[in-house]
Structure 1
Amino acid sequence: MSVDHTGRQLRPDAAPSWLKRLVDNVGDVPGAYRRRVPADVLAAFTAANAAATVTGRKRDAAVLVLFSGPAESSSGELPDDADLLVTVRSADLRNHAGQAAFPGGAIDPEDDGPVAAALREANEETGLDADRLTLLATLEPMFIPPSGFHVLPVLAYSPEPGPVGVVDPGETAIVARVPVRAFVNPENRLMVHRRQNSSRFAGPAFLLNQMLVWGFTGQVISALLDVAGWAKPWNTSNVRELDEAMALVRQVSSYGESQQ
């Protein structure tokens, strides 16, 4: 058991049985993330990270990766009603408009570390009551070159996080507790082309009700599924341009029919 900068305990031992494999192997998530990124793009990430550090342009941020669901699973397998908290940014924002993301953001000087920042941002964006959560672990920070953010994901669990919703429509368009099985469902998975500086590559994405989850968030969720042992074989040759994939969002009316 360890303690974060806020004084709240990180309690990996408190994970429900269906999250135990993920929590026990949380150190493998960055490797699973990087396996989906071509070597030349990873090299560009590393160079951009070093340059941002030297110039002082790198900004620290944190996001909350909140799983909810029953405290017990008879088989230890993923429960049908487990979910993951996801937001969609307002279409009116200057940066990352309409993009699905974990709740979170930049670490402010007043924040007592990245965990406190993730909890504060989650409350501001979704109304989430942080006292209902158990903090399980933190992941290795990941650098996102387009924004210059060095993002630390905070893994948390709650059997029932209470009401969540859009707090400020100018910042957030959608707040959803998305069934984890919707991410697992191969019918909802695809690859989306994205550009990183001069390099162009396709990364894992999820086409869900009201949202396309791609970019950093899509990469992290894909890595979480792999490490947790929940991922199923899916068609990685289904590659779409970002605009094309976004145009499909309105055509999807559910999280998919076969989610078992």
Structure 2
Amino acid sequence: MPVWDQQLLRAALAGGAVTSAVRIRPAVGARQAAVLVLLGPAGADDLDVTLVERASTLRHHAGQIAFPGGARDAEDPSLSVTALREAEEEIGVAPEEVEVLGELGAVHVEVSRFDVTTVVGAWAGDRTLTPRDADEVAAVHRVPLSVLTDPATRVTAVHPRGYRGPAFVVDDLFVWGLTAHLLDAVLELAGWQQPWDHGRRREVPQRFLVDSGHGPRTA
């Protein structure tokens, strides 16, 4: 089971050189966006992370498992505000319910042409979360970290166009691309990472490949 050491995670996020923990392209000065890694209690000895299943009608990342998040508005004073605002709009978590622990360095997502900053936060986790905006979110999944850290859950995703990267298989969900890279980075920074077999490969299921963009989708 993951050991919840909030101060350790805060210190890791504040360490500065965290962009290298996400092994994809660094930010390039593109339009900004933010996502929220929301951690909550899952029983006495575990935590969970909130993931959303994107609506199948979206132009980009349709049906993909992701974190709540979206583009920074001109009125947003910070990217933490962006992540919290988007989480409230998508799954109904109010900003005052979330304690921001820190951020990961921004990375560039070629398909959507955004520089994405990851905001990590904690909340009480004392109620069920459901989609607030059906045009954006089809379902909300709270996945225990004990499941995400289980080596049996981990595989290397294989995209038909050549992409290879970390992935998580949770029941019928396949978490890959940017979300999997960010999960992998948070697990590493928090000291929750368990050794897993990178040689276990799994093709990305067709359900999670739908996208109107061009080129290999990695986020």
**TM-score bracket for the superposition, by shorter chain length:** 0.7 to 0.9
Aligned position for 1:61: 33
Instruction: Work out whether residues 192 and 245 of structure 1, in 8 Å CA contact, stay in contact via their aligned partners in 2.
Output: no
Shift of the 69–180 alpha-carbon distance from structure 1 to 2, 3 Å rule, reads: same
Aligned to 2:58: 93
Residue range with higher mean Cα deviation, 97-106 or 78-87: 78-87
Sort the Cα spacing of 1:18 and 1:152 in 2 relative to 1 into closer, same or farther, 3 A: same
Deviation (angstroms), 1:170: 2.3
- Kindly indicate whether residue 192 of structure 2 is the aligned counterpart of residue 205 of structure 1: no
Which 5+ residue runs of structure 2 have no aligned equivalent?
210-219
State the alpha-carbon separation in 2 of the partners of residues 181 and 110 from structure 1. Answer: 38
1:239 maps to 201
Q: How many residues align?
A: 205
Larger Rg: 1
Q: Distance in 1 between matches of 2:34 and 2:126?
A: 19
The percent of aligned pairs where both chains have the same amino acid is: 35
TM-score by length of 1: 0.71
Q: Structure 2 counterpart of 1:20, which letter?
A: Q
Q: Give 1:245 shift.
A: 8.7
Q: Which amino acid aligns with 2:103?
A: T
> CA 1:209 to 1:82, structure 2 compared with 1: closer, same or farther past 3 Å?
same
| RMSD of aligned residue pairs (Cα, Å) | 2.5
Q: Cα gap change, 1:79/1:192 in structure 2, threshold over 3 Å: closer, same or farther?
A: farther
Residues 29/161 of structure 1: CA separation in 2 closer, same or farther (3 Å cut): farther
1:225 partnered with 2:197? no
* Pairwise CA distance, 1:79: 5.9
Deviation at 1:110, TM superposition (A): 2.4
1:115 aligned residue = 80
What is the CA-CA distance between 1:243 and the residue it aligns to?
3.0
C-alpha displacement of 1:126: 0.3
Q: Partner of 1:253 in structure 2?
A: none
Gap change, CA 1:85 and 1:135, over 3 Å in 2: same
Q: Structure 1: which 5+ runs fail to align?
A: 1-15, 38-44, 71-77, 248-260
8 A Cα contact 1:132 1:160, kept in partner: no
Question: How do 1:1-260 residues align onto structure 2 when only pairs under 5 Å count?
Answer: 17-26=4-13, 27=15, 28-34=17-23, 45=25, 50=28, 53=29, 58-69=30-41, 80-160=45-125, 162-194=127-159, 200-243=162-205
